[in-house]
Amino acid sequence: MSGIAVAQDSDATPGSDTTPVLAPTPECGDTEDFEVTQAQTAGPFFTPDSPERTSLLEDGMPGAELLLTGYVYAPNCEPIPGALIDFWQCDDAGVYDNVGYTLRGHQFSADDGRYELTTIVPGLYPGRTRHIHVNVQAPNGPILTSQLYFPDEPANAADGIFDERLIMDVSEDDDRQIGFFTFVVEGNS
Ligand SMILES: [Fe+2]
């Protein structure tokens, strides 16, 4: 686990000109495997069959732009290509689209395990801190359901579901935030 944290921290220097494309590849320690990403409840707002897309932005959509990126890895430190990653979140006002697919979409990790999602920073709704829902599944592997959180979010402390292990590394770009998080999921072996 420490290997992931180190890799993420090294890419999170605010104001650096490091682009997310150049984010370092996490490395395992000599003896320890990656810890599988903590699972969390899906909550009541998951909708199956989301569209395949890497951007959830739509014309006129309110909210601060967020680029969420990182890798999908197996516990043995191997990247997982072709992993299904399904994101869903509320809008800037804290409202989910439970009729259509606004701010819902899935994609598949690249050959090096990388994923990249363009979206907005989700709003707040009563009882929860700021979060993004996700399902991650290696090809033929089990589904990991979890949520991602923002650092320095005041509402984190009062949220009973919040887990600090699921905080993204977030840095500011010129006109958007960049979140970095590496998922570790069981493969099909
Ligand atoms: Fe939620």
Distance 32 CA to ligand 1 centre (A): 33
Its domain, for residue 156, covers: 2-184
Distance 24 CA to ligand 1 centre (A): 30
Structure tokens at 173: 């770009």
- Averaged pLDDT of the chain: 88
What is the Å distance from ligand 1's center to 140 Cα? 26
pTM for the complete prediction? 0.85
Contacts of 29 (CB under 8 A, 6+ apart): 2, 3
Burial of 138 from C-beta contacts in 10 A (0-12 / 13-18 / 19+)? buried
Are 170 and 131 in contact by the 8 Å Cβ rule? The answer is no
pLDDT digits (tens, 9 = 90+) for 99-147: 999 999 999 999 999 999 999 999 999 999 999 999 999 999 999 999 9
Tokens standing for residue 94: 């804290």
Share of the chain above pLDDT 90, in %: 78
Calculate how far, in angstroms, residue 181's C-alpha sits from the geometric centre of ligand 1. Answer: 18
Q: Is the pLDDT reported for residue 164 higher than 80?
A: yes
Report residue 54's pLDDT band, with 50, 70 and 90 as the boundaries.
Answer: very high
CA of 96 to the centre of ligand 1 (A): 8
Residue 23 lies in a domain: yes
Q: In angstroms, what is the span from residue 157 Cα to ligand 1's centroid?
A: 16
3-state secondary structure of 71: strand
Q: What is the pLDDT of residue 66?
A: 98
- Whole-number CA gyration radius for the chain: 16
For the segment 68-98, what is each residue's pLDDT rounded down to a tens digit?
Answer: 999 999 999 899 999 999 999 999 999 999 9
**How many independent structural domains does the chain possess?**
1
Q: What per-residue confidence (pLDDT) applies to 17?
A: 47
In a domain, 189, yes or no: no
Residue 92 maps to a domain: yes
CATH number of the CATH domain containing 49: 2.60.130.10
Q: Does residue 56 fall inside a structural domain?
A: yes
CA separation for the pair 158, 10 (Å, rounded): 29
Is 136 domain-assigned? yes
- Higher-scoring residue by pLDDT: 72, 12: 72
